[in-house]
Chains A and B, each alone.
Chain A
Amino acid sequence: MTDQPTETGLKEWLLSDTPQSVAQARCQRLYLAWLSFSANPIAMLGLTIIVVLVGMAAAAPLLTGGDGTEQALANRLQPPSIAHWFGTDELGRDIYDRIVWGARITLYIVGLVAIIVVPIGLLVGTVAGYVGGWVDIILMRVTDIFLAFPRLILALAFVAVLGPGLENAVLAIALTTWSPFARISRAETLTIRNAEHILAARVQGASTARIIVHHVTPLCLSSVIVRLTLDMAGIILVAAGLGFLGLGAQPPLPEWGAMISTGRQYMLDQWWVATIPGLAILIVSMGFNLLGDGLRDVLDPRSGGTS
């Protein structure tokens, strides 16, 4: 009960029509976005899935008995039971443990691709949009070529040359994923490049680099984040596909796609070996899709939630 006054005070502070400081205005905007986001049950479901995934990855040592690679050949291909919730695989490894540790690999792939792709996309897009002219034409032609290329096939060809492995798979996925981000940031840049605050900064003598980094890029971020969330599912699926073909993470790493691949031989009699990791991939990529849909409705009012 004692919390009641401060809570309403906080709420008033967050919802007041006359913010007193920049910080308050920023908090208000975030709070309003959160209110409309949390009113969307589908988006909240997506957020819950992602939070659980991150929690699983962070707390993997606490949630499991080992690191998911210990073999126990006497226990191989056991069906799901109380001791092994999801059963065991062909080397007697607990599938639940491997799913939990696999969450780390999934997040590692997705995070690394995002770290590579977003800066490249933003840089190419904002420079092309802001500088314009020949720079724009050349950069956008290169972007279009990558956009025109089928994604999985290009990733396959890259991995074929670089050699199989987790890092190479990440690199291949990143090379085939950056182009839409460049397109989006360019489109955003074109709409704001002649805005008054940009002109004001230019009149004050800010350099082109400074304007792009400090004034243009922040305004492109929200569309880029929405697109990134929606792309996460695609990234996970391509990574899982590469893993399934044996071109991604190498054994004994518990990568979900590779787990499906080994489970394939036992599909008829020991269905759980391949089915469980597939469900994990499905749930996680569904989570990112749900979250992305919700974020788009909140951050991008122009879409109006119709598409």
Chain B
Amino acid sequence: MSQDTVNAKTTIEAAGRISRSALPSRLFAIAKHGFSILLTFVGLTAITFIIGRVMPADPVLAIVGDRASNEVYEAMRLQLGLDKPLIQQYLIYLSNILQGDFGTSIMTTRPVLDDIIRFFPATLELATIATIFGVFLGIPMGVLAAVNQGRLIDHVIRIIGLFGYSVPIFWLGMVALLIFYAGLGWLPGPGRIAVYYDGIVEARSGIILLDSALQGEWEIFWNALHHLVLPASMLATFALAYIARMTRSFMLDQLNQEYILTARVKGLSEGAVIWRHAFRNVLVQLITIIGLTYASLLEGSVLTETIFAWPGIGQYITTSLFNADMNAVIGGTVVVGICFVGVNVLSDILYRIVDPRSHD
């Protein structure tokens, strides 16, 4: 017993020494991290700048049309700042973005940012529910597969996972609508909510589930939830496949470690070994994976939104695209890109906080 306490004491002291000496290097790491995020943002905007301003043969013509007079053309050219050097144009573009100015949408005649704020909650709602589906189905599947490695259930889960990776999501959505909406009539069709409920709930957050629940409109809440089931399950197929695969591989790593053997030798039940010992270590690693999934679903909902007539950011980008509304397309792309990077950064930070091993 005394041996143990001595050991514990030296360990604590050692840990203290490490954290004190590691402080400047941690600050340095944070600064480095921040710098790389900043660079990613600059690169992201540079790419969209190139797509929107440099690649089109004549951005002025795209806006004014080929019947515009020379004066109108010239005025628009000056207004866009195309007479300035490219690098200066980029800096203007960057400062506009930082002020939330993405230009005006030709289609809706409103500022692009206003449009995005209106359309984004629908995507957020869809991606969030899909991620929840993916997490609550994918993690148990991955654990089950790892525990039964090489047995039939492992192969079945592997095939399900490969299906999730391989299926064209827009097609799966159509087939699901055919079966569950047109055929069996179990679930409602496309859209976020039944037409007769439209506009009853005051849009505070724009997330219908939240708004209706806060205002006590439970009938509308259930209706919206029913509408969410199909599109969210479609979107969740990929999340589920990815999370299950990663959980399995992380679990296998842990189950082969010696501390698991020790736990078994101590006579712990198999359930305790798997969930209390192995899984707790896996959970930390899964934070990054779940973050990645969430970010990719925010983006991946483009095709699902098209099938289910879901008024989200993906549908906004595609309809703008068909109306040659470049400001809206580029604005939407930048916002989705920022969310994508942002969620990844957040999950990375969360991982660093939760996992003590990443501190040194």
Contact = CB atoms under 8 A, between A and B. Distances in A.
Interface of A: 42, 141-142, 144-146, 148-154, 156-158, 160-162, 233, 237, 240-241, 244-247, 257, 260, 264, 267-268, 271, 274-275, 277-278, 281-282, 285-286, 288-290, 293, 306-307
Contact of A161 (B56, B245, B253): B56
Given A161-B55, A267-B174, A153 B306 contact: no
B174 A153 contact: no
B139 interface: no
Contacts of A141: 36, 39, 43
Contacts of A288: 166
A275 B183 CA distance: 15
A282 B168 contact: yes
A306 B249 contact: yes
Interface in B279-326: 295-296, 298-300, 302-303, 306, 317-318, 321-322, 326
A143 to B, nearest CB: 10
B340 interface: yes
Given A141-B36, A157-B48, A285-B165, 9 more contacts: A145-B39, A153-B299, A267-B177, A282-B168, A282-B171, A285-B168, A286-B162, A290-B162, A307-B246
Contacts of B170: 241, 244, 260
B23 interface: no
Given A149-B44, A241-B170, A286-B163, A156 B302 contact: yes
Given A161-B55, A275-B175, A281-B168, A149 B340 contact: yes
A285 B166 CA distance: 5
A151 B47 CA distance: 13
B43 A152 contact: no
Contact of A150 (B40, B245, B253, B296): B296
Nearest to A271: B178
B93 to A, nearest CB: 15
Contacts of B272: none
A40 to B, nearest CB: 12
5 contacts: A42-B155, A151-B299, A247-B321, A260-B170, A267-B182
Interface in B227-279: 245-246, 248-249, 252-253
B333 interface: yes
B47 A278 contact: no
The 4 A-B pairs of least Cβ separation, nearest first, read: A145-B43, A278-B171, A150-B299, A307-B249
Contacts of A144: 36, 39-40, 43
Interface string B52-72: 100110000000000000000
Given A141-B43, A285-B166, A152 B300 contact: yes
Contacts of A145: 39-40, 43-44, 47
B156 to A, nearest CB: 12
Nearest to B163: A286
B59 to A, nearest CB: 10
B318 to A, nearest CB: 6
B167 interface: yes
Contact of A148 (B44, B52, B162, B163): B44
Interface string B138-175: 00000000000000000100100011011111111011
A157 B175 contact: no
Contacts of B300: 152
